[in-house]
Amino acid sequence: MPKRSVPRYCLHRPSGQARVRIDGKDHYLGLYGSPKSKAEYGKLIAGWQAKTNEAPKNLLIRDLAYLYLEHCGRHYRKNGAPTTELQPIRDALKRLLRLYVDERVADFQPRMLKQVRQAMIEEGLARSTINGGIGRIRRMFKWGVGEDLVPASVLVGLQAVRDLERGRSDAREPDPVRPVPIERVDAIKPYVSRPVWGLIQFQLTTGARPGEALIARGCDINVSGHVWEFTPMTHKTEHHGKERVIFIGPRGKEVVRQFLSTDLHRYLFCPHDAITDLVARAYRRGARIRGDVGDRYTLHSYAAAIRRGCELAFGMPDELRNINKALTKVSAAKKQVTRERLLRAASEWRRENCWSANQLRHTFATQARRQFGIEAARVTLGHASAVTSEIYAERDFEAARKVVAQIG
């Protein structure tokens, strides 16, 4: 029996909607190119594939990407919410589709994967980021083999492409994550909102991961002891069966008290407070604040707030802060070249002058290790050894309490 081709994701020009024809019936998916339409396409094709044991022929890279993203949307979830792994997968697949959107899956060869990798190098990405992206592309093809969408020979060829090694490629080496000096933290205080500054101080006094600090709520904090205990509703290693308790010492308690409210299920560091403060300052000037904000900051918005504060505090040149405005003074012929030059310059400036939320955790770890040793720092940060975590769990918690009681 001849192999069946996968129904194509198409544009219905009269309506502007995406359309797929399955077994002679048209299915309209929503606005063409929208994430919702692509997700709906993935669901329909998954159902179509489940009804037949025949492997498809002429499957294109973009079709495989749609199907894989639909699978990832279901797989990479924790407590009903998407995990942070989804965005790196999308970024890697975007770079693949940029070069090989209409290539047949069966024709994809190792040299093509190397070409995607070379494009990442020319983009200026760090070596570890490139290796991670290429690994995610390989995992898509591996998933496709398991779903009878990809010939196994294609995956064998891609697995032969080795990761870039330190000092043996043209890729930029990743910058090490270092502790951020306290004076550089204090420098951005005038340029960030009160909740963002609270988040920064919460991390500095507890060693919490950025994602853990963002979801802190009053109902998750046990305030009965001398050292408070914050148990995040979700955390990085919970799917490994690990327990995570973040201890809050005297300085940390001062931070938390500023944001506690009668609604214990409200996130402590809420963007609504930043909007309220902004309205209060601008009220007499007749300012109107528009736009909806979420109940809590995301990793992206938190990182953007810190980056913006660094740009203002450390004097980022105006043409790098507002590239689009700078391009209005450039002729059309030179606009693209100028944009790329400014983007590279802005990226380099940020690498040298900006710090990230994760560096705050390193600052706490450095102080804890200096005063109490590596073991106390390890348990306070929630790092567990597979060999000793069960044996020393109780002792670890007591050591952590002692650390934050003195430096928190």
Q: In this predicted model, what pLDDT tens digit does every residue of 90-132 receive, in sequence order? A: 999 999 999 998 899 999 999 999 999 999 998 888 899 999 9
Averaged over 65-86, what is the pLDDT? Answer: 85
- Residue 288: is its pLDDT beyond 90? no
pLDDT in tens, 176-191: 778 889 999 999 999 9
Report residue 64's pLDDT band, with 50, 70 and 90 as the boundaries.
very high
Q: Which of 4-13, 99-108, 291-300 has the highest mean pLDDT?
A: 99-108
Q: What is the pLDDT of residue 256?
A: 93
Q: What is the pLDDT of residue 389?
A: 29
| Pairing outcome for strands 25-31 and 10-12 | unpaired
Of 209 and 175, the one with more pLDDT: 209
Q: Is residue 99 within 8 Å of residue 133, measured between CB atoms? A: no
Of the listed ranges 318-327, 351-360, 375-384, the least confidently predicted one is 375-384
pLDDT in tens, 303-352: 999 999 999 999 999 888 888 888 887 788 888 888 888 888 888 899 88
Task: Read off the tokens for 354.
Answer: 């900006």
Averaged over 84-90, what is the pLDDT? Answer: 90
Q: What is the pLDDT of residue 390?
A: 34
Q: What is the pLDDT of residue 105?
A: 92
Q: What is the pLDDT of residue 136?
A: 95
Q: Is residue 358 within 8 Å of residue 210, measured between CB atoms? A: yes
Report residue 395's pLDDT band, with 50, 70 and 90 as the boundaries.
very low
**What whole-number percentage of the chain has pLDDT above 90?**
33
**What whole-number percentage of the chain has pLDDT above 70?**
86
- The DSSP annotation for 275-338 comes to HHHHHHHHGGGT----S---SS--HHHHHHHHHHHHHHHTT--HHHH-HHHHHTTS-GGGHHHH
Q: Is residue 46 within 8 Å of residue 67, measured between CB atoms? A: yes
- Residue 199: is its pLDDT beyond 90? yes
Q: What is the pLDDT of residue 5?
A: 67
Q: Is 148 left (phi over 0), alpha (psi -120 to 50) or beta?
A: left
CA distance 100 to 224: 59
- Residue 401: is its pLDDT beyond 60? yes
CA distance 144 to 140: 6
Taking all residues of the chain, what is their mean pLDDT, rounded to a whole number? Answer: 83
- What is the rounded end-to-end Cα distance, in angstroms, of the chain? 70
Class of domain 182-314: mainly alpha
Residue located via tokens 């300012």: 287
Class of domain 10-159: mainly alpha
- Residue 24: is its pLDDT beyond 80? no
- Residue 294: is its pLDDT beyond 70? yes
Of the listed ranges 200-209, 218-227, 229-238, 353-362, the least confidently predicted one is 229-238
Q: What is the pLDDT of residue 240?
A: 65
Q: What is the pLDDT of residue 198?
A: 95
Q: Is 315 left (phi over 0), alpha (psi -120 to 50) or beta?
A: left
pTM, whole model, 2 decimals?
0.68
All structural domains of the chain with their residue ranges = 10-159, 182-314
Q: What is the pLDDT of residue 137?
A: 96
- Residue 81: is its pLDDT beyond 80? no
Half-sphere exposure of 325 (CA within 13 A, CB side): 6
- Residue 287: is its pLDDT beyond 70? no
List residues bridging with 267 in a β-sheet.
217
Of the listed ranges 133-147, 204-218, 379-393, the least confidently predicted one is 379-393
CA distance 162 to 167: 14
Largest CA distance in the chain: 76
pLDDT in tens, 258-276: 999 889 999 999 998 888 8
Averaged over 208-230, what is the pLDDT? Answer: 91
Q: What is the pLDDT of residue 99?
A: 92
